[in-house]
Structure 1
Amino acid sequence: MATGIVYSFYSPSTQDRIKEHGGAFDSLLKLIPAQYYITKELSEEEQNSKYQHNKKRSAPKQEIKERTKKAKKAKLDPENIKSVTDIQSELASKGDGSESEGEDEDDGDSGMKIDTDEDDIVEDDSEAPVIAKSAAHNFEGLLAQVHTAAQTRTPAARSITELRAKLEERLAKFRGNRGAVEASAAAKKPTSRQSILEARLKRKKDKKAAHKLAKEKRASGGSEGLVVKENEGSSSGTGGRPSASSINDKGEVRFSKFEFDGLQKKKRGPTDAQGQLKMVEAHNEKLAALQVADPEKANALKEKDTWKKALQLAQGEKVKDDVKLLKKTIKREETFKKKSSKEWGERKSTVSKQKDHKQKRREENLKARIDAAKNKGKKDKGAADKGGKKKGGNPKA
């Protein structure tokens, strides 16, 4: 039996260094909280609950309180506090299953024979394959553990990255659909106080101009953001009626009303409430007589009236066919007329009285002025008579 010299896979110094480094890494991992190092794989329901903010409010208050107390107690329980290495070992044991158990048995049976001295040698050829196999097996186990720990971290990170990429893609798609101009953040960011003031002033002017434009559109009767096209003197016989089709600022066609080109007719019948009431009462009497004579024809006429009313309402017209409302309107108009005529009569009487009073005062003033002029003439004549020559003439010499 041939003998040979086979060196051990690991020297004692190498093994000690690996153990020392492994212990250092484990101690560092224990300092990191497990929730920040190992991502928890959430179920679909737990993932959706993050975005359902009102779900907590819908639950009973007592249940929420009890759940909060239990969570606090579990958080303070020392048995529930596990380090990163403990969780990694649990995950590795769950992932390996029966395979890990078989490997542990093989490790216990064969074991890795490592010499305690650097210069010790194995002189038996039969032991060499066992040593090499054992060392390779332990090395593969270490790689498997590292790979398992990496797998526990990567899926969640990968899923978050994918979700962010999808979100960015959808946002870019929406920006492109609405025609938004994408500019760089550096170009948009103001660099000085002057640029900030200019941007603020520009926003204020734009807001004022938009408000003024909206006010003008409301005053002109057009809807905001739409430019209504009018067909002036068209050959289709619409008579210059504005079309229901409208075009907004982007050139897109919008329809704000229904078009009834074939049903447009001139309005007939009275426009006052009294005439409309007479017309409705006559129509109802005719319908009642027709209901007695020919019920089918009466039903057909009712259906026709219903469709006609629906089309008129769709066109924006006011249909006044309610007898009670028409009578109420007539009564209100008559009351208003009576009140108005009474106020007008009172006003005429007041104006007439004021006119008579002014005329009377004018006549009195004129009479007083004439009397004053007469009295003044009499006074002047009397004064002239008193101031005349004395009787008797000149004295004799």
Structure 2
Amino acid sequence: MHKIKLIIIVLLSIILAGCTPLFLRDSEPKILNNATGLTDSETLLQSSLESNQEVLIKSINSNLIDGLVYDISSDGKTLLLGSPSSSISGNIESAGIYSNLHTYNIKNNQLKQVLLSSKEQVNALFDKKHKGMIYVEYNRDPDGKAIEDSYRLNWTNNEGSQTKNLSTSDESVSPKFSMVNNELVIYGNTKGQIKIVELRSISRQSIYRKTYNLTENLNIYKVDYYEDYNLAFFLALNPKTKDMDLYYANLAQTEVVPRLIHKNVTDFNISTENASVLYNAKGEKSNQLISVDMYYNNTVVYEGPISMFYFTPDENKIIYGEKIDDSSNNQNIWIMNSDGTQSTQLASNLRIAGDRIIFNSNNDSIFFSVFQLESKESNTLNYKVYNIEYSYKY
């Protein structure tokens, strides 16, 4: 283990000194032209760069339910999403509309409100073992903007009848936390701290947190944890450039040194199956989707206008969004192998809302939200959940 950690540190130093990536993808996906908008028949495209493999669209539902989708239950029957609701103070319903947590039973078409609050609840995940949900909650000002330092990490049971504060009242948490496993959740805050919470302490009077203090006071935006190597990976705001930079830190001690991996990174995902970190680095001319394993073999798996990306549940493939152009909100959705080969387009010209694509692990099916304006005169956005079912033909 000590040898592995030493190798990681040495190789990180080499890469950060400017080493050329070991692998550069030599074929890029062909962007198919489709300017027809969001109609079912014209949005879907079935095309593949490899003749021996074809993705077939089995069905699409472009209006499953209104809302911003966050997660799906382990049995694939229930979606967790944020939907608009009016808050209630005492017996008086306010005029404010807030995004509160709801569940949606896919089979029965039943929408159930879990929480009712005059606070925004976002980025929620199912806590499957403890039969609850973990989410970030924050306040808005009268103009509808998020109030700084108001972000809290909370837990509620599936009925919304019991809640727990996972973060403390004196900290503002990172908008993006991560579920490490069924017992651990990791989050960061604006104080330059990383905290790991033991979910089994939810049933107790006090929540058990382990705190790691960074030697630099970095404002953390997103954090995840590779438990086998005791490494935390996180995005933090660069105060000079106002961009997000990607770091890692060894959590062997409570005082930890952040190590820069790459500047100007939009997002990252950890693959335990491939023992690697996948991240999107913005360049002057194009973006690069880079995979770095725990021995720091550095591979560019995609180069182009990527917007978001996720591993499939088996981590053998990557589904990603690709912006049509910088001036448009429309995106194409592609799927490819985790090494960047065999890119196939699933859908095009979608105004994808948020940055999540949710997978149903029981079959080849994805859920995501799209947005549209209520009217040309209104700035109010409506969100609709899409569902695409697909299969592979060899």
Q: Please indicate, yes or no, whether the TM-score normalized by the shorter chain is above 0.5.
A: no
Higher helix share: 1
TM-score normalised over the length of structure 2: 0.16
Q: Which has the larger radius of gyration?
A: 1
